[in-house]
Amino acid sequence: MSPTVTGFEVHDIRFPTSEQLDGSDAMNPDPDYSAAYVVLSTDAPDGVAGHGFCFTIGRGNEVTAAAIEALRPHVLGRTAPLTPVELAALHHDLTHDSQLRWLGPEKGVMHMAAGAVINAAWDLAAKAAGRPVWEFLARMSPEELVSLVDFRYLTDALTPQEALAILRAAEPGRAERTARLRAEGYPAYTTSPGWLGYSDEKLVRLSKEAVADGFGQIKLKVGADLDDDVRRMKLARAAVGSGIRIAVDANQRWDIPDSLRWMEALAPYEPHWIEEPTSPDDILGHAAVRAGQPVKVATGEHAANRVVFKQLLQAGAVDFVQIDAARVAGVNENLAILLLAAKYGVPVCPHAGGVGLCELVQHLAMFDYVAVSGSWEDRVIEYVDHLHEHFVDPVVIRAGRYLAPLAPGFSARMHPGSIAGHSYPEGPVWRARRTTEEVNS
């Protein structure tokens, strides 16, 4: 008999990263990296469980956890979704519940919550199959992969037949690319030197260390003050030399005229891309930024769903697609976005600047390389160097590349001690901070 989902745990987990300004940028100056975390357990004899989460930056994580909790009736008591058919059915049921969907539709906190549960189900299914998610996906037939995608709203840009053709064209080289991925790893870049709250000295030191560690690209946060950004960009360029790419990220800070003015000022230092220059919903704004200044445009980490990505690609508004493993509705919707990017010939460079996002998104990029785009040309996965110690199967970076995960699942499982210690507000990490605040008040 097939196992049944018998447990559905939700945790509000937060890390006090704002104390060191890790993750700080022009729009988000004091983030506490957080996860609304879900665990699906079953009655299978091996006791395997599925782990998934939404990423947030502190306040409001309890809202996302409550949204995940609202999905409990759709999952508890259900046959554990272990096959493509079952995983597609779960995705459909969680994103098409008419009353919950109304809260979006298909965007925002409810959609992110669906993604957390869907990703937990993929973790569970891949563990049951004994494979990491990237390989679990890459071993599916083109027909099975197409069956996972919700093509509603997409067929003016990508039909199921076109998606099938993309996947079939990539199929003959899967084994060769899998072997190369395992041997060489996947190209990475690091944002760790470039947080906006870091001093100039720390920026320079970490930039040099990134080059010494083998990274061919770093990223700086920009957007608060133009003179400061020019100074920091000049320092970073001097630190890494002319052969290293430097991307810049405004985190949605600007209107269109500011975007053009800022990037004209930074252009002499050869930024590789400008990321999120304006509102993530402004398709035409991104197109105007791309057309109006010399630097390539990247966006997507806050794009609400596959429809926004479709329009970015249709409008010629983006040079690099930045999927996020925990923003849209999980693996299924990210598969749709990967196929859209392949159809339009735009490289996918995933976002991973948050707790657990490196762990998740490596699987999606590696699957894209093996079974969809068949290329890592102009493709890199973001890497940040904090909080990996809280995961049972953390990412492994060597010489500026992600090594392919070997452990079954989605690399999403946190250590029980990390969950207990950082649970909000009653975990010991947060109780200690309240006590210190009370003593100092």
User: Considering 51, 221, 343, 390, which one is annotated as catalytic?
Assistant: 221
310 assigned to active site: no
> Six-digit token pair at 129?
């199959």
Q: Which helix (H) or strand (E) holds 55?
A: strand 49-56
How far apart are the C-alpha atoms of 12 and 16, rounded to whole Å? 13
55 closest CA partner among 360, 351, 344, 357: 357
User: Considering 272, 343, 351, 388, which one is annotated as catalytic?
Assistant: 351
User: With 0-12 CB in 10 A as exposed, 13-18 as middle and 19+ as buried, what is 184?
Assistant: middle
Q: Which helix (H) or strand (E) holds 115?
A: helix 108-129
CB 251 within 8 A of CB 276: yes
How far apart are the C-alpha atoms of 392 and 389, rounded to whole Å? 8
SS3 for 34-53 is: EEEEEEEEECCCCCCEEEEE
386 assigned to active site: no
> Six-digit token pair at 67?
């949204």
Q: Going by C-beta distance under 8 Å and a sequence separation of 6 or more, which residues neighbour residue 19?
A: none
Q: Helices 357-367 and 330-344 meet at what angle, rounded to 10?
A: 50
Catalytic residue set: 221, 351
